[in-house]
Structures are given as structure tokens and as C-alpha cells.
Amino acid sequence: MVKESKKAQRFYDDLIYGDKATLSKSEAMLKAFPFPTIEQLPSLQVLEVGLGRGEWALGVATYAHRYTGLDYSEKTIEYVRQELASHTLHEKVSLEHGTVLALSFEGNTYDAAYCIGVLHATPDAMQGFRELLRVLKPGGTLNIMLYGQVQPRNIIRDTLFYISRLGRWAEELILKLVLKIEMWHLPDACLFNADGNIVLYKDWYFAPIQSHHTIRQISKWAQQEGAEVTYVFLDQYRNTLKRHQRWASGRILGRFFCPDFMASIRKQSATA
């Protein structure tokens, strides 16, 4: 098995969890992607890699025929296990410990897969992308969310991120500073959408590994694996400047500028 750093595992083991997942919130999140719909889920076997607080897990596990969840943090797995057990979903749920860089599942196993905000937190996002496509059935769909690349409007956020790399003292200083800055209610173009979510702050500033990507890059990865990007949603909540959204779709600027985004990738069908 490809192993990620112990520092990364400690980070996600210690990540603070916020509000509990609710079915209504999970249902709303599932609608972010055109496939699978809630109506289609009862006939599908679905994989999720990176469980977070169980927001996606609750919705998918409720409606899917079978749900498999995988995470690098055993504490996260136990947290989500308890959440799903409270909704009596344990009979059609399997939760496993592992890494997206070396999935233990057989190829062509799942109808759909979710990997939300995970690949950019691994040492090799492209390898994780390949592994997710490998375990999908022909014609299956991979739904992902990735941090965008080079976002000038986030200059304050990015500066704080690099300062936080100086050591534990810097992490503690930045966390206190971010919470204080939120109270100033700065314009979104100057900072970021602050929603009081301490998990989001810790995940952004202190994650041991963090990479940034573009839609063009993911399209190229998909083509190399015989797949295609079928849907893209630029994260307007955290990237409200319209010019950055336009740049992301440009042939030239799209190589360098891209907001955070969600995308659906369809694996080539067996008859294609």
C-alpha cells in the first residue's frame, strides 16, 4: 500500500468536527452533480473516498443500493460509523481504512464514486484520480471537488497559508488571526467567505499537503485514462469574482487561473 505521511494522518485524526450531518443537507449536496440523482441511487453501488463529517455519506448511504466509504483517518471512520448507525444504515454500509493512492477494491466494481476535497490533499493527486477511475465500472461516473489554481483574490488567505508552514507556533498564531479577521467582515474579494466553520479553516491552512488544479488539467488526465469530463461547476460560493470564472474557461488563461471547482468524469463504456 502506498503510505501517506504520519503527519497527515495525525492531522486528520485531530481535525475538529463541526455540525452533524443532516439528511436534508446531504440531499441538497447530492444535487450539485447531475449523476447520480437520488432517484437513480437505489440501483447503484457507490464508493466515497474521504468521509469528512459524513455530509455526503449520509445522503448516499440512505438511497444507494450499497455504500462503501474509505478514509485515511481511523477516527474519521469511527465518527461516520456512529453517524450512519444512528440512522440504522449499517446493513448496507461498509467503511474501510485506506488511501486513495492504492485502493484495495477490484477494478470495475462501482457505478459511481465521490471524492470531495481529497485529491488535492494527497502526495499524488493524479495517481488517486487513476485509482478512482480503475474501480469504476465502464460507463461509471466519478464526482470530484478540487482546489483551484492561482486565485489572486485570495492573496491574504494564501499568504497566511504559507506563514502557517513555519511551525507549530505559526499555526496557532494564524488560527487565532483568522478567527479575529472573520469578525472584521472584510469584503469577500479581500479574503474569503468566512462562515465560522473551524474545520474549513484548519483544513485550508494547516493540511500537511495541498495542491491546486485547473479544469484543463483534469480534462487532460481524463483523456489519458480514456474518460471524459462531462460536467463542471465553478465554486461560486468561494469564488465570486466573475472574471476569474471566465479566465478558467479560456484556452490560455485557463492553464493558470481556475476557481475551486467540482467536476464529473465519465469512464468510457465497454462498447465505446
Domains of the chain (ranges; CATH) run 6-149+212-267 (3.40.50.150), 152-206 (no CATH)
Q: What nine digits make up the cell of 128?
A: 488517486
pLDDT of residue 65: 96
Pick 267 or 248 by higher pLDDT.
Answer: 267
Q: What per-residue confidence (pLDDT) applies to 271?
A: 64
* Total H helices, total E strands in the chain: 10, 7
Residue pLDDT, tens place only, 30-85: 998 999 999 999 999 999 999 988 999 999 999 999 999 999 999 999 999 998 99
Question: Amino acid identity, residue 54?
Answer: G
**Of 14, 97, 95, which Cα lies nearest the Cα of 60?**
95
Per-residue burial over 151-179, b = 16 or more CB atoms within 10 Å of its CB, e = otherwise:
bebbeebbebbeebeeeeebbeebbeebe
Rounded Cα–Cα distance for residues 141 and 264 (Å):
6
**Model confidence over 232-242: pLDDT tens digits?**
988 654 444 55
Q: What percent of the chain has pLDDT over 70?
A: 75
Q: Which residue has the higher pLDDT, 161 or 95?
A: 95
CA distance 254 to 228: 18
pLDDT tens digits, one per residue of 134-152? 999 999 999 999 988 765 5
Question: What is residue 148's predicted lDDT score, i.e. its pLDDT?
Answer: 83
Task: Say what the pLDDT of residue 147 is.
Answer: 86
Average pLDDT, the chain: 82
pLDDT value for 166: 85
Lowest mean pLDDT among 55-64, 90-99, 148-157: 148-157
Burial 37-54 (b: 16+ CB within 10 A, else e): eeeebeebbbbbbbbbbb
User: pLDDT higher for 152 or 107?
Assistant: 107
Residue 122 has pLDDT above 80, yes or no: yes
More confident: 268 or 162: 268
pLDDT of residue 78: 93
Residue 19 to residues 25, 50, 93, 197, 208, Cα–Cα distance (Å): 11, 17, 22, 9, 24
Q: Report how far residue 64's alpha carbon sits from residue 133's, in angstroms, rounded to the nearest whole number.
A: 19
Q: pTM for the whole thing?
A: 0.84
Sort residue 62 into left (φ over 0), alpha (ψ -120 to 50) or beta: alpha
Of residues 88 and 201, the one with the higher pLDDT is 88
Residue range 172-230, pLDDT digits in tens: 887 777 667 666 665 554 544 444 445 556 676 777 888 889 888 999 999 999 999 99
Helix H segments across 72-167?
74-85, 125-135, 155-164
| 3 pLDDT more than 80 | no
